[in-house]
Amino acid sequence: MLKFILKRLGSAAGVLLAASLLLYILVINSGDPLGDLRESNAENREYLMQQRTEYMNLEQPWYLRYLTWLTGVSKCFVGACDLGRNINGIEVTDLLANAASSTLRLVLLATVIAAILGIAIGVLTAVRQYSGLDYLVTFLTFLFFSLPVFWAAVLLKEYMAIGYNNWLENPQISLGTSILIGVVAGLVLQMLLAGSLKRRGITFLATAIFVPLLLQYSVWLNFYRFPQMGPAVIIVLTVLLALSATAMSVGLKEKRVLYPALITAVLVLGMYYATFWLLAEPNGWLLLGGAILAVVIPGLIGKLMGGRLSKAAMGVSVTVGLVGAGLTVLDHIFRAWPGFLDLKGRPIATIGSSTANLEGGFWDHFLDNATQLLLPTIVLAIISLASYSRYTRSSMLEVQQQDYIRTARSKGLSERTVIFRHAFRNALIPIATIAAFDFAGLIGGAVVTETVFGWKGMGDLFNTGLHAVDPAPVMAFFLVTGTAAVLFNLLADIVYAILDPRIRV
């Protein structure tokens, strides 16, 4: 494996070198970097042209400029990157650090959301092949996959930002709209749960009645401007999660998994009260420490009480702990929402990655960053989600035809065990390739998204450099995206061997 990795790294370096040379030649021949100054009537025009020539080393032949850039890149191996200066004399390394942090924050979140939802939808539609749900999801995934990014972004800005901000000034939901939402929710839920015609009918009626009542009650509470949750809702949701996660993994009869999960749910309630004042005005390190504890403590409980099912107990308990911690944080976000609306009356932004000179505490800035992330993340996620769901469905259907799946069913194993323990792991092998390329592709695809939403990230760096015929920012963009593509492709090959030890290079 080590020989294979070194060989792949060597070939990848050759590909990156050739691609960088080609891109550099294309950029420097796409226009005149001094064109705007040649047309200028400024008195110091000659001085500005000389200054820009020095910044960009235009007095040198192109191959020497490329070698200078390549030498600066080689210094990255010793932690002293020198990517040159842009057309204004600003160090590109500093610009790249700010742009990469902004874009990676966006792309990482979109990738995680798309992967989790897409894989879950793919598994569900594979299990329910040729059902109404399968046809509906197939239609929606092809629709999302074919959406032009810029068009979807404009629609989101119109309806989920401008429209929502207008509605939030006086949030009202008419009774007719509530009933319509309830009917649609009922139709979708009965398709998800399936079962006999009687069961589906009861599911539809219950949902069609409950959802309109809940919506009208939320309007009466003025929930959308003053949201509230509290410890009662948190404990109910964590207990329900403990029961459902146990049922999906090993079944409710296995007390060695169920009891640690329920104990974790009780601990979540205790930690809610213990950390209430700490979380009123926390910091990033405090939240990170809480997340680590939400994994370590439930994991130890599951390990000690799980016995022969310790792995399943640890997995379920950690899931309950993490979700419970997330609900606790969500409760404090709800409490901070009214104050955030006072600071920023129209919360969902359409331009930029943050609000300049925003006052307020930790949660106000957290909400500002979250609302700025919302729309571009949705755009990137729904387009990637289509790929994940279709590939997962196809892979699951192929795996379910294998002999070892038929053998597992013939041995009397439950369908849950067959799907999640035997089929799902092997179906993930081709998905590893999709995830590797999707992350690198999203960085490049974020150029359009960032342009529409006015983000100062990698896309803006690329666009600015390309329009100014400035190769330094464009090459910095290539350095990040190209390296990401190569490394994640290599990572996919390594994950292959982890998911299936039979795979040998």
Instruction: Specify the residue for token string 């760096």.
Output: 461
**Closest residue by Cα to residue 268 from 303, 308, 233, 312:** 233
What confidence score (pLDDT) does residue 500 get? 64
Q: Say if residue 223 is exposed, middle or buried (CB neighbours under 10 Å; 0-12, 13-18, 19+).
A: middle
Write the pLDDT tens digit of every residue in 407-444: 888 888 877 778 877 888 788 777 777 777 777 667 66
What confidence score (pLDDT) does residue 220 get? 94
What confidence score (pLDDT) does residue 151 get? 87
What confidence score (pLDDT) does residue 1 get? 65
What confidence score (pLDDT) does residue 498 get? 66
33 and 468 Cβ atoms separated by less than 8 Å: yes
What confidence score (pLDDT) does residue 497 get? 65
474 and 466 Cβ atoms separated by less than 8 Å: yes
Whole-angstrom Cα distance, residue 114 to residue 119? 8
What is the pTM (predicted TM-score) of this model?
0.81
What confidence score (pLDDT) does residue 489 get? 75
What confidence score (pLDDT) does residue 294 get? 94
What confidence score (pLDDT) does residue 501 get? 63
Helix H, strand E, coil C: the string for 296-338 is: HHHHHHHHHHHHHHHHHHHHHHHHHHHHHHHHHHHHHHHHHHH
What confidence score (pLDDT) does residue 355 get? 80
What confidence score (pLDDT) does residue 247 get? 86
Kindly list the domain boundaries of the chain, sorted by start residue: 172-221
Tokens for 229, please give them: 């949750």
372 and 352 Cβ atoms separated by less than 8 Å: yes
Residue ranges in the chain whose pLDDT is less than 70: 1, 4, 440-441, 443-445, 496-505
263 and 301 Cβ atoms separated by less than 8 Å: yes
What confidence score (pLDDT) does residue 464 get? 86
What confidence score (pLDDT) does residue 147 get? 80
Q: Say if residue 458 is exposed, middle or buried (CB neighbours under 10 Å; 0-12, 13-18, 19+).
A: buried
What confidence score (pLDDT) does residue 323 get? 95
